[in-house]
Amino acid sequence: MFKSRLKYTFIAIAIIALLQLFINMYLSYQFKNNPLSESLQNRINEKEKELQYLAFKYYKIKTKIPLFITGKMNDKLFGLTSLEKNGNLKIYLNKNRMQENIDYMIDDVFAHEYAHAVMFLRKLYTKKDDGHSLEWQKTCLNLGGQKCNRFVKHQDIVFEKMKF
C-alpha cells in the first residue's frame, strides 16, 4: 500500500514538474518572439522620461537618445551604448536578458547605459576602466541608478527576483 502511494505521488510530482517546464518554455518563447507588452513598454517610456529629466536637471542635456530593445545581442551583455562615427548615440538593451529580471534591466541597466550616453555628450568619456570612471559612477547615481557597478553582479539579479 505504501509503495503504491509513493509510486503515484512520484508520478504526480513528475507530471506537475513537466507541465511547469512546458509552461516556462512556452512563456519564454512568447517573450522572445513577440513585441514587448504595452505595460512593459509604458514602464520603459516612463523610465526614459525620468532619465531625460535628470540629464537635463544635472547636466543641462536635452537630447533624446534612441533606445533599441533587441534579442540579437550577445547574451553576456545586458546593455550597450554606442557612439557612431557620425556622432549619433544609441542605447541597446538585451531583450533576452530582460526576461530574467525586468526590474533590474529598467531600473539599473537602463540608467547605467544612459550614464554612458551622458558621458559621451559631455565629452568626458574615457577608455580608462572601460568607461566606468568615478565621474561616470557619479553620473549614473545622479540619473537614479541604484547599482552603478562596472559590471553586472549576478547575485543582484537573483536577489532582485526574491523580493516580494
Query: Tens-of-pLDDT digits for all 164 residues of the chain?
Result: 888 899 999 999 999 999 999 998 888 888 888 888 999 999 999 999 999 999 999 999 998 999 999 989 998 899 999 999 898 999 999 998 888 888 989 999 999 999 999 999 999 988 777 788 889 999 999 999 988 877 665 555 544 544 54
Model's pTM, two decimal places? 0.80
Q: What is the CATH number of the domain that holds 75?
A: 3.30.2010
Alpha carbons 130 and 125: distance in angstroms, whole number:
9
Rg (CA), the chain: 21
Q: Give yes or no: residues 121 and 45 share one domain.
A: yes
Q: Give yes or no: residues 90 and 21 share one domain.
A: no
- Give which of 92, 98, 101 is closest to 36, Cα–Cα: 98
Q: Give yes or no: residues 128 and 105 share one domain.
A: yes
> Which domain range does residue 9 map to?
1-34
The cell numbers describing 56, all together, are 537635463
